[in-house]
């Protein structure tokens, strides 16, 4: 039985201009001091795929234009709006002032398992993803409304941040359809 792969022209993808005209999702990705420009690029690509409204690049995050970001973003850095903040807390304050619920994606004493969390329709969420080594800064966790963790079953207790972005964005978008 044949199962032909679709050609890119058959996928019905929107242009970057059309992307910017799509309705807002109410989801913003906040990257808290991500060291790797490749991880930043991957976060852009997942943000585009699941229609995050924007990406907040905080602290030491690389910013476009960047060959390393472009290598993994494949142009998504041109479709997804982004802003840079010197400090993650500046982004958190602005987002909270604009009605966002702040969610740290982090293992904490009171974190909720992603599979048990149902995002409320119509509510705006800022999803904070942390540094590859240190995770989300403690002061950012403290300023968050809640923490969510991805259940894991192996010997490792963390995933690459770009993988986390994809998993969490997929969950939020699927639950809000």
Q: Which residue has the higher pLDDT, 13 or 93?
A: 93
**Residues 4-20 as b or e (16 or more Cβ within 10 Å = b):** eeeeeeeeeeeeeeeee
Residue 10 lies in a domain: no
Judge whether residue 136 has pLDDT over 90: yes
Determine if the peptide bond prior to 65 is cis (ω within 30°).
yes
- Asked whether residue 6 is assigned to any structural domain, the reply reads no
Cα radius of gyration rounded to whole Å, the chain: 16
What is the pLDDT at residue 16?
87
> Would 45 be classed as within a structural domain?
yes
List CB contacts of 25: < 8 A, sequence separation 6 or more: 50, 51, 52, 53, 173, 176
pLDDT at 112: 98
C-alpha–C-alpha distance, residues 33 and 10, integer Å: 38
With 90 as the cut, is the pLDDT of residue 175 above it?
Answer: no
CA–CA distance, 117 with 101 (Å, rounded to integer): 14
Residue 177 has pLDDT above 80, yes or no: no
The yes-or-no verdict on residue 42 having pLDDT over 80 is: yes
Q: Please report whether residue 32 resides in a domain.
A: yes
**What is the average per-residue pLDDT within 58-83?**
97
Res 57: pLDDT: 98
Position 2 in a domain: no
Per residue in 84-102, pLDDT tens? 999 999 999 999 999 999 9
Structural domain harbouring 156: 22-175
Q: Is residue 54 situated within a structural domain?
A: yes
Establish if 68 belongs to a structural domain: yes
Q: How confident is the model at residue 68 (pLDDT cuts 50, 70, 90)?
A: very high
With a cut of 70, say whether residue 103 has pLDDT above it. Answer: yes
DSSP-assigned letters across all residues of 107-120: --TTPEEGGG--PP
Is-contact 105 158, C-beta < 8 A?
no
CATH code (residue 78): 3.40.1280.10
Count how many domains the chain has.
1
Q: Determine, yes or no, domain membership for 11.
A: no
Q: Over 70: is that where the pLDDT of 144 sits?
A: yes
Q: Which of 148, 132, 137 is nearest to 91 (CA)?
A: 137
Residues forming beta bridges with residue 100, ordered by sequence position: 124
Per 3-state DSSP, the chain is made up of helix, strand and coil in percentages (nearest 5) of 35, 20, 40
The arithmetic mean of pLDDT across residues 139-148, rounded, is 98
């Amino acid at each position: 039985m044949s199962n032909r792969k679709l050609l890119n022209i058959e996928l019905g993808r929107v242009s970057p201009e059309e992307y910017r005209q799509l309705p807002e999702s109410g989801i913003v990705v906040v990257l808290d001091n991500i060291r790797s420009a490749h991880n930043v690029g991957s976060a852009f690509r997942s943000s585009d795929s699941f229609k995050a409204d924007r990406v907040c690049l905080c602290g030491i995050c690389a910013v476009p234009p960047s060959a390393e970001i472009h290598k993994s973003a494949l142009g998504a850095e041109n479709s997804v709006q982004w802003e840079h903040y010197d400090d993650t807390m500046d982004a958190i304050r602005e987002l909270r002032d604009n009605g966002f619920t702040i969610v740290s994606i982090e293992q904490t004493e009171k974190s909720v398992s992603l599979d048990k969390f149902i995002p409320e329709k119509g509510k705006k969420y800022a999803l904070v993803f942390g540094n590859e080594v240190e995770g989300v800064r403690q002061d950012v966790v403290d300023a968050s409304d809640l923490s969510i963790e991805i259940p894991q079953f192996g010997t490792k207790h963390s995933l690459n941040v770009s993988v986390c972005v994809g998993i969490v964005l997929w969950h939020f978008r699927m639950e809000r359809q």
